[in-house]
């Protein structure tokens, strides 16, 4: 294997109840402020326990995995109805496994949060709640997230002994609330409060949100599209010109080889990291075309973890890290 998997990220679910505009689930037509599903996106799938047991938890190398977490690009892990059982199983087969996840906090049953509070314990483990503001502002970006439900889940989890982190993304509409949110976080029993940088510049966020507030986050029906293929004829929103795949070398600190990163998509494919799996039309098509020019070698329903980590594409990718031309996504995400 090119490296041993040490840090496994599972996109447990590609379902979500929210409509955050910078998420890969959705795109916005900037002319009219209407949201569309990203035609490159994978949606509404859950990873099943049997698959995870066979491919990961029952494997001899799994006991040496350091961390297992679920963030996901296309969904919220708390959408998965079996999440507590999956985390419990993983913990049983791991040794000092750090467990964590990121969630908008408004999905999941009360009992599930109680169970997770028992399971997600120990150094480095936590549920990271993405809460971008207070009752009057969180939904201005996190459209569809009920504050009442979010607070219920947070309190259930923390009162059951759960380790929680509040992650706050700053926008123009919530920047004045950072101090208040921090105070509320510690009053509620969060262990950490973290400010996170926004993927969008303030100007872009403001422009898009102003439009969405006017349409009340109107989302038109799904555009049928198979992941990885070019956008359908006539597709307009969000589709921009292809970008270069290989660019001039920059000094890298590759997280995949450094940490043994192994990313599993909700449709059971392998990518070395979440940065190579964003499903966005303009940014990633060239990478997908190159990554899969030999076929479906990263399909984990057909191949084992060992097989994908021995595949020549992975050697090719890693061998470029110190070549004069490197992958653009690596340069953007793992620059030293
Ligand atoms: C796509 S989300 C999936 C996990 C979960 N649904 C959530 O939102 O926390 C993955 C991560 O992206 C973060 N995120 C969402 N919008 C962002 C933005 N505009 N800038 C930076 N991070 C963002 C979320 O807070 C989360 O930590
Ligand atoms: S809550 Fe997370 S997965 Fe859901 S739309 Fe927002 S960023 Fe995407
Ligand atoms: S962006 Fe490239 S270098 Fe960084 S972790 Fe992903 S594959 Fe590795």
pLDDT reported for residue 240: 54
**Nearest Cα residue to 283 out of 226, 327, 315:** 327
Q: Residue 138: its pLDDT value, please?
A: 98
Which residue's alpha carbon is at the smallest distance from atom 3 of ligand 3? 254
Instruction: Answer yes or no: are the C-beta atoms of 140 and 167 closer than 8 Å.
Output: no
Q: What is the domain partition of the chain in residue ranges?
A: 1-229, 240-336
Reported as a pLDDT band with limits 50, 70 and 90, residue 53 is very high
SS3 assignment, position 315 = helix
Residue 244 is predicted with a pLDDT of 80
Q: For ligand 3, is residue 314 a contact (CB within 6 Å)?
A: no
Q: If you average pLDDT over every residue of the chain, what do you get? A: 91
Burial (Cβ within 10 Å: 0-12, 13-18, ≥19) of residue 82: middle
The answer to whether 172 and 178 are in contact (CB under 8 A) is: no
C-beta 132 within 6 A of ligand 1: no
Which pLDDT does position 186 carry in this prediction? Answer: 98
Lowest mean pLDDT among 17-21, 167-171, 232-236, 285-289: 232-236
pLDDT digits (tens, 9 = 90+) for 190-244: 999 999 999 999 999 999 999 999 999 999 865 544 444 444 444 454 555 556 8
Cα torsion 308, 68, 42, 211: sign: negative
231 lines ligand 2 (CB under 6 A): no
Distance from C-alpha of 335 to C-alpha of 78, rounded to nearest angstrom: 32
Per-residue confidence (pLDDT) for residue 226, from 0 to 100: 43
> With 50 as the cut, is the pLDDT of residue 152 above it?
yes
Q: Quick check: 150 pLDDT over 50?
A: yes
Question: What is the rounded distance in angstroms from the CA atom of residue 110 to the CA atom of residue 96?
Answer: 26
Question: According to the model, what pLDDT value does residue 277 have?
Answer: 85
Q: Average the pLDDT over 156-166 and give the result.
A: 98
118-146 average pLDDT score: 97
pTM here is 0.94
∠ CA 166-170-176, rounded to 5°: 95
For residue range 61-106, what is the model confidence (pLDDT) as tens digits?
999 999 999 998 899 999 999 999 999 999 999 999 999 999 999 9
Phi and psi, residue 182, nearest 5°: -60, -45
Choosing from 9, 11, 73, 130 the residue with most ligand 1 atoms within 8 A of its CB, the one to mutate for a pocket test is: 130
Q: What is the mean pLDDT of residues 99-118?
A: 98
Chain center to CA of 50: 22
Domain 1-229 has what CATH class? Answer: alpha beta
* Lowest-confidence pick of 9-13, 26-30, 61-65, 226-230: 226-230
Decide: 162 in ligand 2 pocket, CB within 6 A. Answer: no
């Amino acid at each position: 294997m090119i490296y041993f998997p040490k840090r496994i990220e599972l996109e447990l679910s590609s379902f979500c109840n929210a409509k955050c505009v910078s998420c890969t689930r959705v795109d916005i037509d900037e002319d009219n402020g209407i949201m569309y599903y990203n035609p490159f996106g994978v949606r509404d799938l859950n990873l099943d326990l049997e698959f995870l047991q066979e491919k990961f938890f029952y494997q001899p190398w799994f006991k040496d995995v350091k961390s297992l977490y679920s963030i996901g690009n296309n969904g919220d892990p708390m959408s998965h109805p079996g999440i507590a059982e999956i985390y419990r199983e993983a913990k049983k087969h791991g040794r000092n496994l750090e467990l964590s996840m990121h969630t908008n906090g408004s999905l999941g049953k009360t009992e599930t949060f109680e169970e997770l509070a028992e399971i997600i314990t120990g150094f480095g483990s936590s549920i990271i709640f993405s809460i971008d503001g207070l009752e009057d502002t969180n939904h201005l970006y996190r459209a569809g997230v009920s504050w009442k439900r979010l607070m219920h889940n947070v309190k259930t989890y923390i009162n059951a002994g759960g380790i929680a982190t509040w992650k706050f993304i700053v926008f123009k509409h919530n920047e004045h609330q950072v101090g208040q949110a921090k105070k509320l976080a510690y009053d509620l029993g969060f262990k950490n409060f973290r400010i996170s940088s926004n993927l969008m510049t303030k100007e872009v966020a403001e422009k898009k949100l102003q439009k969405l507030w006017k349409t009340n986050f109107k989302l038109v029906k799904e555009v049928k599209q198979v992941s990885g293929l070019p956008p359908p004829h006539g597709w307009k929103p969000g589709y921009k010109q292809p970008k270069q795949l290989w660019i001039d070398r920059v000094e890298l600190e590759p997280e995949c080889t450094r940490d043994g990163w192994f990313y599993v998509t909700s449709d059971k494919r392998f990518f070395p990291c979440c940065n190579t799996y964003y499903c966005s039309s303009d940014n990633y098509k060239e990478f997908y075309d190159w990554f899969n020019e030999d076929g479906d070698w990263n399909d984990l329903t057909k191949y084992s973890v060992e097989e994908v980590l021995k595949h020549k594409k992975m050697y090719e990718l890693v061998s470029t890290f110190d070549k004069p031309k490197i992958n653009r996504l690596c340069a953007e995400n793992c620059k030293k």
